[in-house]
C-alpha cells in the first residue's frame, strides 16, 4: 500500500481527494499513487506546531537529544528494506544505491547524536577583577528544510540531524517526486520519541507552501538543497525577515585527469560517479578535462566500462543504472546531446534511449568527446548520465577551465604527482575536492560550495554551528 501523508504536531494529516498530486514510477511511467498537497491552513498549523515543539525540544538536555537521534538511526536501519524499496520506486535508482542512501542517512543521525553532546561554551578572562565573560550557544529556532528529489532520504537526514541535535524544530518540505519515502523517514523520527511539533512534513507547491513559510517570522533558519536559480529566489525572499541560510546549490563538477594518472582507476571512478543515480547528483563529475596525451586511451577505457553497465528497473537484480527521474529530465538530456552533436561533438558511446525502455524514462550512459567550447553541456549542469570530455594541453589549462564557471561545489583530480596535487587543490575553486577518489560527502566532514554553488556547510564538527546562535554575557560584580 502506497502511503504519503502530511505530518503536523505529531499526527499524520490527510487532505481531500481533490487536492492531491500523482506520484509516478520513473522505471515504468505508471502511477504509484498520490499524496496530499498542503494548503494555507496546514502551513499555519505547522508553524504553530513547530514553535510549540521548539519550546519543548530546546529545553531537553543534550544527552536527551542525543538519545533520540540515536534511536532514529536504529529505526532507519531496522526499516531499511521497505524504505529503500520506496526510494527506488519513486526516484528510480538501483536498490543497492537506495540501501546505501538509507544507511548513509543513519550515519548522519549517529554522528550528530554524538555532536549534540559536544556543544561547548567558553569562559573568557575578565579585564578587571571580578569580571567574567561567558559564551554559550543556543538553537536558532524553527528551521525550514527544503530538499531536492535526487537524494530525498539523505538530504533530509543531513538537515534534520543537525537541526535536531542543536535543539531546533523543523518544518520539512521535500520535492514532490518522492513523498512516501520521506514520510517513512519522518515516521522513524516520530517513533524515536520526538515531542509533538518538533518535526512537521508538508508537501505542496512553492506558492502555496514555501512562500508563506518564507514570509513567516516564526521560521528563523532555512536550509536548502537545489538549483542555483531557486536558491537565488529564496535568498531574496529571506531578506524581509532576515533568516539565516544554508544554501547547497548547483554543481557541474570538473574531473581532471593528468597525463600521469592511473587511467584504469580514473575511468572506473569516473563511470561509477557519473552514472550514480543516472547522473542526477549535485557532485557528479560532468566536465572532464583530460590531458591530451592520455585523452584517447581514457575515453576508450570509459567506454569499455560503460558498455558493461546494465540499465533497467532499479528493483531488478543486477541493474547498475536506473531511469532518469522525470520526463522533463530525459527531454533535457536529449536536448544537451543533440546540441553537442549539432556543433560537431563526437558521441563516443550512447547518446539515446535504450531499445527496451518499456515506458520508463531511460537514457543510455553517454560519452561525448571533441566538444566545441560553445556546447551547452559545458556551461549548463546536465544532471544526466553524460560524460563531456575535453582535451587540455596542460595542468594550468585544466585549472583555468575548471574554474571558468560560477559553479564551485565539488571537483576531482586524478594524478600520481604530489606536486600536481598540491598545485591543483590549492587553485581549484570548490568546496570539496576528491583526489584519486570521488567520495567527497561524509558525515564527519563539512560539505558545501563556493561562488554560485552556495554557502554554509553541512556535516562535520562545525555543522551544528549553522543551527546555533552564540550568546555573549559579560558579568560584573554589583
**Axis-axis angle for helices 95-115, 62-78 (nearest 10):** 170
> Grid coordinates representing 290?
583530460
pLDDT band at residue 16 under the 50/70/90 scheme = low
Query: Does 448 reside within a domain?
Result: no
Query: Does 158 reside within a domain?
Result: yes
Regarding whether 129 and 49 lie in a shared domain, the answer is yes
Q: Tell me the C-alpha to C-alpha distance, in Å, between residue 453 and each of 95, 201, 219, 285, 387.
A: 29, 26, 23, 14, 20
Query: Does 76 reside within a domain?
Result: yes
pLDDT band at residue 17 under the 50/70/90 scheme = low
pLDDT over 80 (residue 1) = no
pLDDT score for 461: 85
pLDDT score for 396: 98
What are the pLDDT digits (tens) for 42-74? 999 999 999 999 999 999 999 999 999 999 999
Burial of residue 103, with CB atoms counted within 10 A of its CB: 0-12 exposed, 13-18 middle, 19 or more buried: middle
Residue 168 a catalytic site member: no
What are the pLDDT digits (tens) for 264-303? 999 999 999 999 999 999 999 999 999 999 999 999 999 9
> Grid coordinates representing 45?
498549523
Regarding whether 178 and 144 lie in a shared domain, the answer is yes
What are the pLDDT digits (tens) for 104-138? 999 999 999 999 999 999 999 989 998 999 999 99
pTM of the model: 0.95
Regarding whether 124 and 37 lie in a shared domain, the answer is yes
Query: Does 308 reside within a domain?
Result: yes
> Grid coordinates representing 319?
541493474
Regarding whether 192 and 301 lie in a shared domain, the answer is no
Strand partners, 21: 35
Regarding whether 334 and 406 lie in a shared domain, the answer is yes
Smallest CA-to-CA distance from 225 within 317, 157, 134, 297 is with: 157
Burial of residue 156, with CB atoms counted within 10 A of its CB: 0-12 exposed, 13-18 middle, 19 or more buried: buried
Whether the CB-CB separation of 204 and 39 falls below 8 Å is answered with: yes
Smallest CA-to-CA distance from 277 within 332, 242, 320 is with: 320
Q: What 8-state DSSP symbol labels residue 398?
A: H
Regarding whether 66 and 121 lie in a shared domain, the answer is yes
Q: Give the integer Cα–Cα distance in Å for 239 and 222.
A: 12
Q: What 8-state DSSP symbol labels residue 127?
A: S
Q: What is the dihedral of CA 40, 41, 42, 45, to 10 degrees?
A: 120
Residue 396 a catalytic site member: no
Number of neighbouring beta carbons within 10 Å of residue 19: 12
Catalytic pick among 168, 177, 282, 381: 282
Q: In this prediction, what percent of the chain has a pLDDT beyond 70?
A: 99
Regarding whether 232 and 154 lie in a shared domain, the answer is yes
Regarding whether 351 and 289 lie in a shared domain, the answer is yes
Q: Give the integer Cα–Cα distance in Å for 143 and 243.
A: 10
Regarding whether 125 and 110 lie in a shared domain, the answer is yes
Catalytic pick among 97, 115, 248, 466: 248
Q: How many domains does the chain have?
A: 2
Backbone angles phi, psi at 280, to 5 degrees: -90, 65
Query: Does 1 reside within a domain?
Result: no
What are the pLDDT digits (tens) for 359-412? 899 999 999 999 999 999 999 999 999 999 999 999 999 999 999 999 999 999
Query: Half-sphere exposure of residue 329, counting CA atoms within 13 Å on the CB side?
Result: 24
Query: Does 136 reside within a domain?
Result: yes
DSSP of 234-289 = HHHHHGGGT-EEEEE----EEEEE-TTS-HHHHHHHHHHHHHGGGG--TT-EEEEE
Regarding whether 228 and 97 lie in a shared domain, the answer is yes
Structural domain of residue 381, as residue ranges?
Answer: 253-443
Regarding whether 229 and 273 lie in a shared domain, the answer is no
**Axis-axis angle for helices 62-78, 179-191 (nearest 10):** 130
The CATH number given to whatever domain includes residue 224 is 3.40.605.10
The CATH number given to whatever domain includes residue 317 is 3.40.309.10
Regarding whether 220 and 105 lie in a shared domain, the answer is yes
Query: Does 150 reside within a domain?
Result: yes
Amino acid at each position: 500500500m502506497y502511503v504519503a501523508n502530511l505530518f503536523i504536531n505529531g499526527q499524520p494529516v490527510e487532505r481531500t481527494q481533490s487536492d492531491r498530486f500523482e506520484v509516478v514510477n520513473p522505471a515504468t511511467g505508471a502511477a504509484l499513487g498520490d499524496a496530499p498537497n498542503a494548503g494555507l491552513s496546514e502551513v499555519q498549523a505547522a508553524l504553530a506546531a513547530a514553535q510549540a515543539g521548539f519550546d519543548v525540544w530546546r529545553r531537553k538536555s543534550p544527552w536527551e537529544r542525543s538519545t533520540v537521534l540515536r534511536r532514529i538511526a536504529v529505526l532507519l536501519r531496522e526499516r531499511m528494506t521497505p524504505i529503500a524499496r520506496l526510494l527506488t520506486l519513486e526516484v528510480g535508482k538501483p536498490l543497492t544505491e537506495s540501501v546505501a542512501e538509507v544507511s548513509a542517512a543513519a550515519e548522519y543521525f549517529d554522528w550528530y547524536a554524538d555532536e549534540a553532546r559536544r556543544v561547548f561554551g567558553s569562559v573568557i578572562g575578565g579585564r578587571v577583577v571580578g569580571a567574567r565573560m561567558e559564551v554559550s550557544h543556543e538553537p536558532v529556532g524553527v528551521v525550514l528544510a527544503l530538499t531536492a528529489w535526487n537524494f530525498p532520504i539523505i538530504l533530509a537526514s543531513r538537515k534534520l540531524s543537525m537541526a535536531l541535535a542543536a535543539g531546533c524544530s523543523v518544518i520539512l518540505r521535500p520535492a514532490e517526486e518522492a513523498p512516501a519515502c520521506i514520510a517513512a523517514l519522518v515516521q522513524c523520527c516520530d517513533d524515536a520519541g520526538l515531542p509533538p511539533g518538533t518535526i512537521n512534513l508538508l508537501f505542496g507547491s512553492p506558492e502555496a507552501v514555501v512562500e508563506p513559510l518564507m514570509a513567516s517570522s516564526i521560521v528563523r533558519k532555512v536550509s536548502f538543497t537545489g538549483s542555483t536559480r531557486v536558491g537565488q529566489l529564496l535568498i531574496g525572499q529571506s531578506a524581509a525577515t532576515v533568516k539565516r541560510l544554508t544554501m547547497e546549490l548547483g554543481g557541474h563538477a570538473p574531473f581532471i585527469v593528468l597525463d600521469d594518472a592511473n587511467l584504469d582507476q580514473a575511468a572506473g571512478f569516473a563511470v561509477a560517479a557519473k552514472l550514480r543515480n543516472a547522473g542526477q547528483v549535485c557532485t557528479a563529475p560532468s566536465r572532464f578535462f583530460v590531458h591530451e596525451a592520455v585523452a584517447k586511451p581514457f575515453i576508450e577505457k570509459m567506454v569499455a566500462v560503460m558498455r558493461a553497465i546494465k540499465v533497467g528497473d532499479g528493483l531488478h537484480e543486477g541493474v547498475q543504472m536506473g531511469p532518469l527521474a522525470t520526463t522533463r529530465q530525459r527531454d533535457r538530456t536529449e536536448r544537451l546531446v543533440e546540441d553537442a552533436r549539432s556543433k560537431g561533438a563526437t558521441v563516443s558511446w550512447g547518446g539515446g534511449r535504450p531499445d527496451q525502455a518499456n515506458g520508463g524514462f531511460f537514457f543510455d550512459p553517454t560519452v561525448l568527446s571533441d566538444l566545441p567550447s560553445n556546447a551547452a553541456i559545458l556551461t549548463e549542469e546536465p544532471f544526466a548520465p553524460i560524460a563531456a570530455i575535453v582535451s587540455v594541453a596542460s595542468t594550468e589549462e585544466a585549472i583555468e577551465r575548471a574554474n571558468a564557471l560560477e559553479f564551485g561545489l565539488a571537483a576531482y583530480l586524478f594524478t600520481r604527482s604530489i606536486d600536481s596535487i598540491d598545485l591543483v587543490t590549492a587553485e581549484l575553486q570548490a568546496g570539496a575536492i576528491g583526489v584519486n577518489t570521488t567520495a567527497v560527502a561524509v558525515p564527519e566532514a563539512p560539505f558545501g560550495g563556493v561562488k554560485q554553488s552556495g554557502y554554509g556547510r553541512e556535516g562535520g564538527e562545525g555543522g551544528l554551528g549553522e543551527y546555533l546562535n552564540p550568546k555573549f554575557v559579560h558579568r560584573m560584580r554589583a
